[in-house]
Structure 1
Amino acid sequence: MAQHVFHLKAHWPGGRNDTGSIATKNLKTIVSIPPEMDGPGIGTNPDEMLLGAAATCYIITLAAMIERSKVDKIDLTMESEGFVDVTDGVITYEKITHRPVVTIKEEQLKKFSTLLQKLAIKAEHSCMISRALKGNVEVEAILTIKTQ
């Protein structure tokens, strides 16, 4: 078994409504509490980063599955949304919805439409971040197929 270790350094010199910073090998950014949660909204925040981790893991997984399936995709784009509930001061990350859009050639639609729908669901179940969230945050994928 090979284990990968990822490192992050964080610095938070102030109080709740101040800013801090995080740094990894390839990411350095300012962080704070988002304005939706009465924070200063400077830089990114944990909610966006969780959504970013889930979205990038999902789209990379889906792209790899499409490539292995021999579908000649023209493009793959996606928008994702994270739904956070705040009730009585308790903050709960409830759901992430990915909306991938795969563009393929018109003549491939009939042959690969069902397969692409299956891959969109399989990628959600296979992505490491989705698996880490399982049981805590609902993750769904709603695929759109476009043709050229």
Structure 2
Amino acid sequence: MALHPFIVTTQWPEGRSSVGTLSSEHLETAISIPAEMDGPGIGTNPDEMLLGAAATCYIITFAAMLERAGIKTEKLSMESKGLVDVTNGVFTYKEIIHYPNLLLASSVTEKEEAKAMRLADKAEKSCMISRAVAGNISVSVHPAIRRFS
């Protein structure tokens, strides 16, 4: 088994209301507790980072599956929503919902369009981040797929 390491470095100056940094080979950003959770709301936060990881993993997986299937696309974009429950002051990430919007090339057949819809669901089950959070966070996909006219 070959393991691929991913490495991030974090710095945190002091208490809860501080602003820290997160760095990796291709990313550097400020981090803090979100304003909605009584933090300074500067930079990003773990909740957005988790949602971002799930969203980028899903859209890259979906795009790769479409490419391998030979389904021609014009545009693929997505909005994702993370839902966090707050009960008795305890924050719990409950659900991630992806809303991919796929515009297929005009040459795509109805059969290929139906396959693209199946791949939209399969991509969520194949994504490494979705598999990592399985059993803890519900992840669902609500695709909008149409052909370019």
TM-score band w.r.t. shorter chain: over 0.9
Cα-to-partner distance string for 1:95-143 (whole Å, 9 max, x where unaligned): 0000111111345252222211110111000000000000000001111
- 1:3-18 to structure 2, matched below 5 A, reads 3-18=3-18
Gap regions ≥5 residues in structure 2: none
Normalising by the residue count of structure 2, what TM-score does the alignment of the two structures yield? Answer: 0.95
CA distance in 1, matches of 2:38, 2:17: 8
In structure 2, the partner of 1:114 is 114
CA distance in 1, matches of 2:3, 2:124: 22
In structure 1, the partner of 2:64 is 64
SS of equivalent residue, structure 2 residue 40:
coil
CA distance in 2, matches of 1:32, 1:139: 25
Partner amino acid, structure 1, of 2:72: D
Normalising by the residue count of structure 1, what TM-score does the alignment of the two structures yield? Answer: 0.96
In structure 2, the partner of 1:87 is 87
Runs of 4+ in 1 over 2 A off after TM superposition: 105-109
In structure 2, the partner of 1:30 is 30
In structure 2, the partner of 1:124 is 124
CA drift of 1:74 comes to 1.0
Identity of aligned residues (%): 53
Give the count of matched residue pairs. Answer: 148
Partner amino acid, structure 2, of 1:45: N
CA distance in 2, matches of 1:109, 1:55: 27
SS of equivalent residue, structure 1 residue 10:
strand
